[in-house]
Structure 1
Amino acid sequence: MTQQLETSRRIPLNRGRVLEAAVALADKAGLDALSMRRLAEDLGVVPMALYKHVANKDELLDGMVDAVIDEIAPVSADAGWRDAVRLRVLSARQTLLRHPWARHALETRTNRTPAVLTYTDEVIGMFLAGGFSVDLTHHVMHALGSRMWGFTQELFDDAAGRGAEAAVPPEAQAAMVQEMAERYPNILQVATAAQHDDGSVVSYGCDDQFEFEFALDLMLDGFERLQRLEWSSAAQKRGGK
């Protein structure tokens, strides 16, 4: 351990190293464990040394978000708009799955960094290059929302309650299902309609990746239809189709 710290001290500290170590620390221990003191310990330096490269923790978090966004794979320049958007979004999803803390960071950061703006600009550009009007693209981006980054808040998101559910004895779970069947039959019917996998955030055991891609493809189908119809918000407001 001592030798590792000595080696770390001999490597010149720069902003890239600070961000790389911060991302690794958040990956390992979560954002709650991230502090300038803890990060300095991991780098084998005194905390004050970090402030030469990041002004404060907010700037550190902004830089971490940018570092994660830089991992999202680009798409081929000759890909059609639909393939380009789909591949970019699914790459963003895989990136955020590698860095579980990044979703919360993206949701809570108020500063739109160059990497955030560049990524957003690129996604918008994919629709515009595909022949979408500026008006339709505006509404498309509203519809995509956080899905652009590879995540979404789902209707059946019950991550907080699953730990308690796992501790409930089987007979109690059976009673709960029976009560659901009597009081909320439609919810129960829909929630148990598909094959499920453990560890989901969509519903207890739902296949997250399948549900995400299903909704993304559904939206892309709708966007494509509106683009073919030369849809505009002005015509819609006048009672058009």
Structure 2
Amino acid sequence: MPAGRSPLNRTRVVGAAVQLADASGMAAVTMRATAAALGVEAMSLYHHVANRADLVDGMVDAVFAEIELPDGGGNWRDHLRRLAVSARRALQRHPWATGLLDSRSKPGPATLRHHDSVLGILRRSGFSPTMAIHALSVVDSYLYGNVLQERSLPLDELRGQEPAAAQLLESLPGNEYPYLAEIAAGRAGPDPAPGPDDEFAFGLDLILGALTPDDPAA
């Protein structure tokens, strides 16, 4: 090993793969490319990961490890709100992970710890096992859908929602779409309009407000 190079281990291998995926997407994550990023031969990786599937398992677990778990204070809605916000930020940092978080047949320790923590919050708050799964599923579905929707909006290339709204307003023909024009005019103006974070918080509060424990006295 060259002087100054840190020993190769699973954490370094997974970290290199995560950086590749962040920069170029999952298609760029191969054993050969990961090894090249680490300055080693591909065969060296097999001492730390069994194959590419095992590498992806580690990458997903690394994303789950970035999601902040509850600290014990507050009620179940506060906990789920903080978890969802933290998970959304993790997926914004690692957009490739959105479709992979629940896809692994061999979840890692951070993944298991995350799910167990969320279910524990709900069970201790009076949710039955079935209702706890329902609540977790609906929050996750909203979270993943929101992240995918936000990624599809052309806000980056237009440098924000105000320019995007202004462009839409200019492209609308006459008075043919008055309600679209009304919204676009409001968001293209000088007053701050609800941004993606506000929209996410609004929908999340609707969902959390509609969920009810089976036994509220628990």
Same fold at TM > 0.5: yes
Equivalent position to 2:107, from 106, 113, 119: 113
Query: Is the 1:71–1:95 Cα contact (8 Å) retained in structure 2?
Result: yes
Q: CA deviation at 1:147?
A: 3.8
| Alpha-carbon distance between aligned partners in 2 of 1:175 and 1:106, rounded to the nearest angstrom | 40
Deviations 1:161-219 (A, max 9, x none): 9969xxxxxxx96674128x63x6556656666569xxxxxxxx972111111111111
What secondary structure sits across from 1:138 in the alignment?
Answer: helix
| Alpha-carbon distance between aligned partners in 1 of 2:169 and 2:69, rounded to the nearest angstrom | 48
- Number of the residue aligned with 1:78: 73
- Number of the residue aligned with 1:178: 173
What secondary structure sits across from 1:120 in the alignment?
Answer: helix
Query: Is the 1:94–1:150 Cα contact (8 Å) retained in structure 2?
Result: no
Computing the radius of gyration from Cα coordinates, the structure with the larger value is 1
Cα distance, 1:127–1:149 mapped onto 2, change above 3 Å = farther
- Number of the residue aligned with 1:29: 24
Q: CA deviation at 1:153?
A: 4.5
How much identity, in percent, do the aligned residues show?
A: 36
> In the comparison of the two structures, how many residue pairs are matched?
207
Unpaired stretches in structure 2, ≥5 consecutive residues? 159-166
Equivalent position to 2:203, from 215, 218, 222: 215
Give the superposed CA RMSD: 3.6
- Number of the residue aligned with 1:235: none
| Alpha-carbon distance between aligned partners in 1 of 2:145 and 2:178, rounded to the nearest angstrom | 32
Name the TM-score, length of structure 2 as normaliser. Answer: 0.75
Equivalent position to 1:62, from 42, 50, 57: 57
- Number of the residue aligned with 2:164: none
Q: CA deviation at 1:68?
A: 1.4
Q: Which has the higher contact order (CA 8 A, sep 6+)?
A: 2
- Number of the residue aligned with 1:200: none
Name the TM-score, length of structure 1 as normaliser. Answer: 0.69
Q: CA deviation at 1:42?
A: 1.4
| Alpha-carbon distance between aligned partners in 2 of 1:40 and 1:150, rounded to the nearest angstrom | 33
What secondary structure sits across from 2:72 in the alignment?
Answer: coil
Cα distance, 1:49–1:23 mapped onto 2, change above 3 Å = same
Q: CA deviation at 1:135?
A: 3.9
